[in-house]
Amino acid sequence: MEKILNSWFPEGYQFQEKKVTKNYLKLQDWDNKFRILSNPAVGYVYFSNDWEKDIPHRSLLYPWTPKDIKDDSQVQEFWAFVIYNYIEQKTQILEIRQTTIKKALWELTKSEDWWPLQSYDLKIKKQGKKLETTYIVFPLSKKEFFDKKILKDSSLVNLSALYDNADPFAQFKKTDTEDDLDLLF
């Protein structure tokens, strides 16, 4: 334990780093393997700039000429899914705005061999930077997803909250707290 040089902090106090939990999958420059666990939430998103932070605004309807749109932003269609991320080993949301990924998934939904998308893992390979970025979607072999806890957790994620700029994981967090309280009594 570090020695504190003054008595400003209580004896034995240790600084606690905030653990950042990522609830959204950001595609990395390698193979991103995941399992889709929900039907998509579909809508439109644009970004405004508030206090130097990009703020997403999502809606079911196309927002014609948003007044607060960021200068270099545009309105884009998005698809959002609850997924299980094998690398992070957790339930997350994957929001897709890239046309090449949406087109590949759309084609898979039209094939009897690859329907439904929840019945197999997917891998998206991201290569390049900025405007030179390419994405390749690989469907992996069909297999059951057996982890009941993950399936239960994923059902608590409320994708509709995205349209209100609310936290889709709010119910998930509430249930964790309730479960913790149950352990105390």
Name which of 89, 78, 82 is nearest 37 in CA terms: 82
Element (H, E) at 85: strand 76-85
CA dihedral 179, 24, 41, 176 (to 10 degrees): 0
| 3-state helix, strand and coil shares in percent for the chain, rounded to the nearest 5 | 25, 30, 40
Q: What is the pLDDT of residue 135?
A: 93
Q: What is the pLDDT of residue 9?
A: 65
**What's 118-136 look like in SS3?**
HHEEEEEEEECCHHHCEEE
pLDDT tens, the chain, 185 aa long: 455 556 666 677 665 554 455 898 988 888 899 999 999 999 988 788 766 677 787 888 776 666 666 666 678 889 999 999 999 899 999 999 999 999 999 999 998 888 888 889 999 999 998 888 999 999 998 888 878 888 888 888 999 999 888 899 987 665 444 444 344 43
* Domain regions of the chain by residue span: 31-42+74-158
175 three-state secondary structure: helix
Q: What is the pLDDT of residue 131?
A: 85
Q: What is the pLDDT of residue 185?
A: 37
Distance of alpha carbon 38 from alpha carbon 151, whole angstroms: 10
Distance of alpha carbon 96 from alpha carbon 77, whole angstroms: 8
Name which of 127, 77, 119, 130 is nearest 102 in CA terms: 77
Q: What is the pLDDT of residue 51?
A: 63
